[in-house]
Structure 1
């Protein structure tokens, strides 16, 4: 279970994300909301990228008290990935795989599924938006994380890759991995058995189902 308690993230503009309590059991959870509603802020905090007040725990492991162990169990892909332009996806995979103890078999499977082998050694500065998204997705699934957070994962990738991603989400979910996904294309997820739908507005969250 992914648990959030007394969560607060405030900005100088006055905008704030406040979540008193949210408990997400293993499953596939869809987070919906308009631009500027606070979705990405929440996801980055859960991924351990943005600091925030409150308690975040995954299966009893605290982000604050056990940050390394917590981050090893989390996979995350941004809506608009940004990586150092002089590196290649092979370089990034090498770093992340070492940190998360990913196997060679796992790397080969993910790079095949997302079709990244054809540009594996090219500098990221020359990647298209679709290539960047595929790179982020490969990294998010590396190391068999217990929870995977995907921010608008279906944008900029082709239909074949979308279908591969849906199959992979289904497989990992069946094996016990939890997912929190944002999407402005909810129809893409209709074939997936969602555990819950969360709606975010003005920094507040509601849970349905």
Structure 2
């Protein structure tokens, strides 16, 4: 499903993430690693946010040769989401729905899952960290993406939302959606049927099925 070859992301500081070859089938894949190991850097590059070198393909679609088509297949929720403070979640949903061709039924379902109705019309500048995370997660699932990338998805959200998110990930995985995630929250992660666990240290990956 997701294939990397000769992947390199380098910074002027000298830190780099280098992955010679990685092939991940459809499933739920977890990346573990300490702070500064390169996890978020890798996820942002795979989401098409940070530039990188090498080959990245999702189901045969290249991030570098077909960037628009690739990004339509991706859902991404960062660890610490930020949005323009003058917008509200209703505005963001409308924007992403148009880009990802999300259906009204799907949007209604996701609103219910993440329980966002009470703050849909509030300016984002007044959102709590939990409200921001719920918003980012909802947007990541919109449009039936083939791969959903979730960086620390269980932080800042309450236990009930964590349980809802676990159920949603399991449901979408059964329907054929792939997941690539990081997490320091061991409880929720233990409820997921993981396909593989990848360990990142100093920008290098080791895979354990």
The TM tier, using the shorter chain, reads over 0.9
Determine the C-alpha separation between the residues in 2 that align with 1:187 and 1:9. 31
Determine the C-alpha separation between the residues in 2 that align with 1:113 and 1:187. 20
Task: Name the SS for the 1:191 alignment partner.
Answer: coil
Structure 2 partner of 1:98:
98
Structure 1 partner of 2:138:
138
Task: Name the SS for the 1:86 alignment partner.
Answer: coil
Determine the C-alpha separation between the residues in 1 that align with 2:103 and 2:15. 42
Task: Name the SS for the 1:71 alignment partner.
Answer: helix
Structure 1 partner of 2:62:
62
Residue 75 (str. 1) matches residue 75 (str. 2): yes
Structure 2 partner of 1:6:
6
Post-superposition offset of 1:72: 0.4
Q: 1:116-168, CA deviations, whole angstroms, 9 ceiling, x for partnerless residues?
A: 11000100000000000000000000000000000000000000000000000
State the number of aligned residues: 209
Q: 1:19-75, CA deviations, whole angstroms, 9 ceiling, x for partnerless residues?
A: 000001000000000000000000000000000000100000001111111000000
Deviates more, 1:58-67 or 1:187-196: 187-196
Determine the C-alpha separation between the residues in 1 that align with 2:14 and 2:141. 35
Post-superposition offset of 1:187: 3.0
Determine the C-alpha separation between the residues in 1 that align with 2:100 and 2:185. 30
Structure 1 partner of 2:165:
165
Determine the C-alpha separation between the residues in 2 that align with 1:193 and 1:152. 17
Task: Name the SS for the 1:23 alignment partner.
Answer: strand
Post-superposition offset of 1:186: 2.7
Determine the C-alpha separation between the residues in 1 that align with 2:183 and 2:139. 19
Post-superposition offset of 1:115: 0.6
Normalised TM-score (structure 1): 0.99
Determine the C-alpha separation between the residues in 1 that align with 2:186 and 2:42. 19
Determine the C-alpha separation between the residues in 2 that align with 1:105 and 1:137. 17
Post-superposition offset of 1:191: 1.8
Structure 1 partner of 2:110:
110
Structure 2 partner of 1:42:
42
Determine the C-alpha separation between the residues in 1 that align with 2:14 and 2:105. 47
CA RMSD of aligned residues (A): 0.5
